[in-house]
Amino acid sequence: MAYEYTWYGDSELDTPGLTAFIAATTGGEERPDGTIFLAGMYVTARSVTGEDVNPAVSLFGFEHRFTATFRISSRVDDVTEEHATALMVHTVIAFASRFGGHGVLLFNGETAVLLHAGDHVVLDAEWEDWTENSEIAPLLDQFDSEVLPQPLL
């Protein structure tokens, strides 16, 4: 079964700008419908307004303005899965560095595994996927790592 990470943020970047940034950062192929495909994962991203705003995001202290969902396939080998996950994390970090704003990366819609405010990135210290992934583990020395608040659990 595939699993997903959902990234919510408050940047006012429009949908085409957001998808172009994610495609360029991951090296994925952006299709005409805006979906980004790469080995082991596909990504959908869009800016949101009105009824599309998720009110639960406010629990993290910012207004929900965009959503990006990274769906990682369970049908790929471990190396491909780890690389896809690392590309996702690097994309969020690169976005925070370039555009700032606030954001949260949730695993399967409820567990906060990464937060960013401006270019300050915090990785969840209790998320084993970070320490077990050889491409992500070095980031734990470069960025803060702490137990993140879990208001959705």
Q: Among 67, 70, 69, which Cα is nearest to 52's?
A: 67
Is 150 inside any structural domain? no
Q: Among 75, 72, 85, which Cα is nearest to 133's?
A: 85
Could you tell me which residues are beta bridge partners of residue 47? 66
Is 148 inside any structural domain? no
Domain count, the chain: 1
- CATH at 35: 3.30.310
- Please tell me the pTM assigned to this model: 0.96
What number of other Cβ atoms are within 10 A of residue 61's Cβ?
13
Ordered per-residue pLDDT tens for the chain, 153 residues: 579 999 999 999 999 999 999 999 999 999 999 999 999 999 999 999 999 999 999 999 999 999 999 999 989 999 999 999 999 999 999 999 999 999 999 999 999 999 999 999 999 999 999 999 999 999 999 999 999 999 998
Is 43 inside any structural domain? yes
Task: Report the Cα 27 to chain-centroid distance in Å.
Answer: 15
Is 152 inside any structural domain? no
Is 149 inside any structural domain? no
**48 is in which domain, residue-wise?**
3-143
What number of other Cβ atoms are within 10 A of residue 74's Cβ?
9
How confident is the model over 114-147, as pLDDT tens digits?
A: 999 999 999 999 999 999 999 999 999 999 999 9
Is 69 inside any structural domain? yes
